[in-house]
Structure 1
Amino acid sequence: MMLDTTTLRVSFGMVALTLLVLFYFVAYRSSRSAYCGWWCVALGLFLGGSVAYLFDGTSQQVWTNPLGSTLLVAGASSVWAGTRALRMLTFSWPWFLAAPVVTAVAAAIDDPADNTWAGGAVFLALMSFMVGLASRELWLVRPSPTDLLRREATFSPSVRVLSVLSGGFSVFYAARTIVFVAVGPDAVAFDRYLGSEVTTLVTTVLLAAVSFGMTSLSYERETEELRTRATRDGLTGLLNRTEFMRQAAAEWRSKHRSGAHGSLILADLDFFKTVNDTYGHPAGDYALQTFAATCRGIVRSSDLVGRYGGEEFIIFLPNLPAERAEQIARSISERLRATATPNGMAFPTVSYGIASASADSDLIDAIDRADRALYEAKSLGRDRVILSDDGRPAT
């Protein structure tokens, strides 16, 4: 026996309330992420819309029915806003409010006192449209170029699942819109397959599934953020020393097993203390960040770049000879010389020491040789490249 609409709406409201409480305390309070916040807002609005519909058939229907439709569309708009937050896109109140306002106006002028489907076509169409926009935003979620360069991008399957679920829900509401306009809400084709009872059941299942997906996504993002903090330098975004040594050692072993070679670069910003003393620590931070960004823009995605300590950086270039590493170091300095700096500050020059990988050496040995070459570059006047193999300066 099919449950009546009122019972289903009460059940839906209880599910929405339970999910809201659980999601708020389990996901949002731990992550404080914008997309989790928007999903909490959406659950609250869906709950409010369901409660408002419970007054259909009473003297309060004249305002609760339009309110219910408006709250549900606002909930769909919140889902869209959350997906935009997931993509780090800006939020716009006019775009957010447009759909709920149009829904409210359409319902208010369509005899809401006697018509439980006041503004029904507009409501259904906008629900489909806003959820469809959310599905599109989820589908477009991609790792950032910086993450791809760092070789750390993790694309959560939760995002793709959420996109498919919301896309299917959008199609469902699009079908409701078409059939509603074609035959009306009282037709058997609409009432039996696309009416309020079926929709409430579908929406209840969807809310549970999406809430689970959002919780999973929040957990994955939080775990990724903790991992990033543990492996990345907070100022430059490069690998920190510990993580660089771990990854470079693994890469080193792999390359030597295959007989491949590579090069290691140690770079040090010249007279860096003078920059801090003359222009202030923000200028020094800018110099470090600019150097890091320049390195990322020149090296390959397979190369490793790390902050070795202070103003010293380290780069491992698998499968590249020392001569090519010298060219890369020179390219970095040339690009830095062309970089605009604040307050008329001259960008500090950089000294480089380069060691080539060989079958009879290890990572520590290569770092030691590169460090000796870097020391020689400093002693010869800085702003130059020294290859450890023969001690010759770059031209």
Structure 2
Amino acid sequence: MHLDLSSLLVVFQIVSVTCGFMFALDTVDEEPSFGFWFACSFLCAPLASMFYLLPALNGSWLWAYPVGNGFAALTTALGWIGARAVNGRGVPFPAALAIPVVIALLMIPVGPVDSPWSGALPFFLAFSAFSALGGAEFLRKAAGEERLLRHSKILAAICLINACWYLARAVAFVTLGPEHTFFRAVLGPETSTILLLVMIVLASLCLISISRERALRLAETYAAQDGLTGLLNRREFLRQAEQLAQQREGGDTGCALMLFDLDHFKQINDTHGHLVGDEVLRAFARIARSALRRNDLLCRYGGEEFAALLPDTGSAEAYGIAERIRQSFASCRDGSLAQVGPTTSIGIAVHRGAGIPLFRLLEHADQALYCAKSEGRNRTSVYAAPTPATVQQREGRVVGIRSVASGQN
């Protein structure tokens, strides 16, 4: 079946303009973002097809082909800039304008314009190169994201298919020539127009989905984080801790749970103000996070209380980590902390054996924390199971807790 190129180009223009205006309207009230760049790209694409249609009106206007190639190269260059913007790696405006202009100039043939294929080879190579660069950008994770967006992978595949397609056109153009039967039937402008039409529709749907997917991830992050310290909130901490407990049902490595309570925090707020209190909370979160390992869970448990779950950690190691946090926090003099001199009391509970009895650990760590506070604060206390003798000695109080005051070894 013979495909009419002019009709395909008209359909291409309609689809591309529609997608372009969709992104333009979506980003009208925003700073230039990836939607802005893709709107520019989709609105630039019809300009290329308009120049491709001009020679049909006047057979002597062959100069329109390389100009159309230039706009087509501009389209894919803008798409590459948009792909960078998806992950927050924008391109400065001077470079964003200079790159496409240089590419467009490369489309001008050295010799006279005497063929529809004038400037085609640099266009094929430029289109392939910028499509490949766009695909590579989509395969990179944005700052702060632990995994790729699902639709970024689809966009990367679309870009890489385009890159391979136009590279194949360039190779066939050199080896077979544009008038070869295979080139015209398989790699000709009709097939390429259909491919680009499909790719634009798929890319538009994926770009819209990326915005929604990123918004959903952001909402999930806000729902899981404490807004002041950036740590996990209590609900998310308990959820992840329960998940970790289920994963380690058959394990036998043990774990440690720490509860931190910032000493005299109400007095800090009353004396120095809530802004200084917030600074104290953020400083503790920063110090504790830097002392813990990547797979340790840390949360703001509530108010001035924090909790940490350390898998694969014994009593001695947990005590050492807790002491580093306590001493670092007590000696911190950043900003307003110099006039506050904050300290923290710490309670530790350690479990050895299969599974993680989370709520029992929380209860034991809370008892150890109570002992640290009752014995003078600024201490680290480790819970140990009570014995009959110590129960009798302390008249039913929680026993077996070793407390170490500040400055003691």
Residue 69 of structure 1 contacts residue 103 of structure 1 at CA under 8 Å; is this kept in 2?
Answer: no
Query: In terms of mean alpha carbon deviation, does 249-258 or 12-21 score higher?
Result: 249-258
Distance 1:342 1:371, change over 3 A: same
Which one of 300, 303, 312 corresponds to residue 310 of structure 1? 303
Task: Give the Å deviation of 1:199.
Answer: 1.1
Q: Residue deviations 1:173-199, cap 9 Å, x none?
A: 122233334565445454333222121
Paired AA for residue 99 in structure 1: I
Query: In terms of mean alpha carbon deviation, does 14-23 or 126-135 score higher?
Result: 14-23
Query: In terms of mean alpha carbon deviation, does 291-300 or 229-238 score higher?
Result: 291-300
Paired AA for residue 234 in structure 1: G
Which one of 396, 400, 403 corresponds to residue 393 of structure 1? 403
Query: In terms of mean alpha carbon deviation, does 333-342 or 177-186 score higher?
Result: 333-342
1:373 is the counterpart of 2:368: yes
Q: How does 1:1-395 map to 2 (within 5 A)?
A: 1-20=1-20, 34-58=33-57, 65=65, 68-108=68-108, 116-139=116-139, 141-142=140-141, 153-182=146-175, 184-252=177-245, 255=248, 261-270=254-263, 272=265, 284-333=277-326, 341-342=334-335, 345=338, 348-357=342-351, 363-389=358-384, 390-394=400-404, 395=409
Give 1 or 2: higher helix fraction: 1
Paired AA for residue 387 in structure 1: V
Query: 1:150 aligns to what?
Result: none
Distance 1:81 1:358, change over 3 A: same
Q: Distance in 2 between matches of 1:61 and 1:379?
A: 92
Task: Determine what percentage of the aligned residue pairs are the same residue.
Answer: 32
Query: In terms of mean alpha carbon deviation, does 126-135 or 112-121 score higher?
Result: 112-121
Higher relative contact order (CA 8 A, sep 6+): 1
Task: Give the Å deviation of 1:260.
Answer: 5.7
Task: Give the Å deviation of 1:380.
Answer: 4.0
Q: Distance in 2 between matches of 1:277 and 1:127?
A: 64
| Count of equivalent residues | 387
Q: Residue deviations 1:349-373, cap 9 Å, x none?
A: 3321112347899544433432343
Query: In terms of mean alpha carbon deviation, does 318-327 or 274-283 score higher?
Result: 274-283
Q: Distance in 2 between matches of 1:107 and 1:204?
A: 22
SS at match of 2:55: coil
Paired AA for residue 262 in structure 1: C
Q: Distance in 2 between matches of 1:330 and 1:72?
A: 63
Task: Give the Å deviation of 1:170.
Answer: 0.8
Task: Give the Å deviation of 1:332.
Answer: 2.9
Task: Give the Å deviation of 1:44.
Answer: 2.1
**Residue ranges of structure 1 left out of the alignment (5+ in a row):** 148-152
Query: In terms of mean alpha carbon deviation, does 297-306 or 335-344 score higher?
Result: 335-344
Rg larger for: 2
Query: In terms of mean alpha carbon deviation, does 306-315 or 96-105 score higher?
Result: 96-105
Paired AA for residue 137 in structure 2: E
Query: In terms of mean alpha carbon deviation, does 221-230 or 63-72 score higher?
Result: 63-72
Q: Distance in 2 between matches of 1:305 and 1:274?
A: 25
Q: Residue deviations 1:23-77, cap 9 Å, x none?
A: 677x879999933443333222223333343323446958865553333222212
Q: Distance in 2 between matches of 1:279 and 1:68?
A: 67
Residue 106 of structure 1 contacts residue 118 of structure 1 at CA under 8 Å; is this kept in 2?
Answer: no
SS at match of 1:68: helix
Distance 1:294 1:46, change over 3 A: farther
Residue 272 of structure 1 contacts residue 311 of structure 1 at CA under 8 Å; is this kept in 2?
Answer: yes
Distance 1:106 1:247, change over 3 A: closer
SS at match of 2:258: strand
Distance 1:75 1:283, change over 3 A: farther
Q: Distance in 1 between matches of 2:374 and 2:331?
A: 25
Distance 1:110 1:183, change over 3 A: farther
Distance 1:79 1:55, change over 3 A: same
Task: Give the Å deviation of 1:131.
Answer: 1.0
Paired AA for residue 367 in structure 1: L
SS at match of 2:402: coil
Q: Distance in 2 between matches of 1:276 and 1:67?
A: 68
Q: Residue deviations 1:308-353, cap 9 Å, x none?
A: 1233211112342333221121233455578783478477433211
Residue 178 of structure 2 contacts residue 184 of structure 2 at CA under 8 Å; is this kept in 1?
Answer: yes
Residue 70 of structure 2 contacts residue 105 of structure 2 at CA under 8 Å; is this kept in 1?
Answer: no
Residue 73 of structure 1 contacts residue 99 of structure 1 at CA under 8 Å; is this kept in 2?
Answer: no
Task: Give the Å deviation of 1:241.
Answer: 1.1
Distance 1:262 1:172, change over 3 A: same
Task: Give the Å deviation of 1:7.
Answer: 1.0
Q: Distance in 1 between matches of 2:67 and 2:335?
A: 54
SS at match of 1:393: strand
Residue 31 of structure 1 contacts residue 222 of structure 1 at CA under 8 Å; is this kept in 2?
Answer: no
Structure 1 length-normalised TM: 0.80
Distance 1:117 1:272, change over 3 A: farther
Residue 245 of structure 2 contacts residue 356 of structure 2 at CA under 8 Å; is this kept in 1?
Answer: no
